[in-house]
Amino acid sequence: MSTGQRLIKERTERTEWFLNDRFGMFIHWGLYAIPARGEWVRSFEQLTVEDYQPYFEQFDPVDYDPRAWAKAAKQAGMKYAVLTAKHHDGFCLFDSKLTDYKATNTKAGRDLVAEFLEAFRAEGLKVGLYYSLIDWHHEDYPAYGDQIHPMKNNEQFKRDPANFHRYLTYMHGQVRELLTNYGKLDIMWFDFSYGEMSQETWKATELIGMMRSLQPHIIIDNRLEGSGEHGGSIYSDEPTVYAGDFASPEQIIPPRGITGADGNPVPWEACITLNNNWGYAAADRQYKSPATVIRKLVECVSKNGNLLLNVGPDAKGVIPRESLDILAEVGDWIARNGDSIYGCGASELPKPDWGRYTSNGGKLYAHVFEESIGPIVLAGLASRVKSAHLLADGSELIVNTPWSAKEFKEDAFVNFARPEHYTYPLPDKR
Ligand code: FHN
């Protein structure tokens, strides 16, 4: 077995629970919730460290209740959650011994990560942490100073690479803190590599070696490596040791899912916002409907993928009402239809016009999105469908084969009677 094949085998074993659980909560939270213009406000508005400092002084999330967050995630049918331990602004939500730029030194005076982990574990969810490789606050990161847009600092990095190794010591040290002081973590979500700021610029081999020695089971996204879809060799049959365990398409669902050079599915998770911002943005009211979220979840699963759906809590630590309402409706649907999501993946059948299939290998689930004027036909299934029921209430669906297969040659047709069931799971009429 080659090294690459061994890495693929280990990745497959590590991600088994992940591909079963399918649906997680992403949480972007930090100082940027105060300006409430999204998590890139420091960069987009070219705020200096001094401009941004008042938010550090003001940060006081008096209503932070991670148990409420965890209950909302669980009720929504989410099985895991990933919180930003540090985003690009460098502010640490955890009590790092390597910096003073942390939540425990604000009015919050709390280790927000520790409380998040405890609350979500208590609700039975698996837990992960997002950690930004980019750091606009650390003086040894190339972005330090006025020029803080990471895409524009490679020149500065080339000029003064020596200091950068001090940043790497800091970054590796913080990852070590997170994997040492906070119990069993299920996911480490690095973000993001770009250009030369990737791979061994981060000392990725050393970092992964340390991580695997501390928490060998932990699964890692593909953004430590960088390049295509935020990380490239995960798609090859000889991935690097830092290729990651899952691909991380962002704000898109891959048209045909993701397969590797060997033709086998590559674990992947689409991360998607509920409105148009990851961090809290007070003016952004463009939320997706519950039906859209459900259909995106079904689409991910129908392509062997996961959905990591984002919420951006406000400066007081409260998840926006709109987000909670959407999650509650999604949860109602999943409570009745979760069997068609958890432990499911793609069917070998082609996508039907009226919706999508998911399958758990023994049962086929027909997600009928479009009301049909005629019979819902499940091509090539007549000989295999023993019975059909509406997943939501178990009611029988009359399955018959109105035409003999020979009329349509090899295609056999099965139609679902009782058209009222066609509008299932949810019409997009919100
Ligand atoms: O720059 C970040 C962004 O703020 C957000 O965290 C997303 C989430 O995947 N990742 C980066 C953009 O690709």
The pLDDT value given to residue 412 = 35
ipTM: 0.99
The pLDDT value given to residue 154 = 47
Say which range, 27-31, 170-174, 345-349, 378-382, has the weakest mean pLDDT: 378-382
CA of 59 from ligand 1 middle (Å) equals 22
CA of 191 from ligand 1 middle (Å) equals 7
Strands 126-132 and 23-27: unpaired
- Residue closest by Cα to atom 4 of ligand 1: 39
Question: Quick count: other Cβ atoms within 10 Å of Cβ 190?
Answer: 27
Chain-centre distance for alpha carbon 188: 11
For a pocket test of ligand 1, which of 191, 222, 229, 271 has the largest count of ligand atoms closer than 8 A to its C-beta? 191
The residues lining ligand 1, judged by C-beta closer than 6 Å to any ligand atom, are 39-40, 191-192, 250, 271, 278
Atom of ligand 1 nearest to the CA of 87: 6
State mean pLDDT over 114-141. Answer: 95
Nearest to 135 by CA among 73, 70, 202, 71: 202
Please name the amino acid found at residue 97: K
Q: What pTM value is reported for the model?
A: 0.90
Between 427 and 336, where is the model more confident? 336
Between 73 and 394, where is the model more confident? 73
Atom of ligand 1 nearest to the CA of 189: 9
- Would you state the structure tokens that stand for residue 48, as one six-digit string? 């200096």
Whole-angstrom distance, CA of residue 153 vs CA of residue 178: 27
Say if residue 37's pLDDT is above 90.
yes
Please name the amino acid found at residue 27: I
CA of 426 from ligand 1 middle (Å) equals 30
For a pocket test of ligand 1, which of 27, 86, 151, 192 has the largest count of ligand atoms closer than 8 A to its C-beta? 192
Whole-angstrom distance, CA of residue 219 vs CA of residue 205: 15
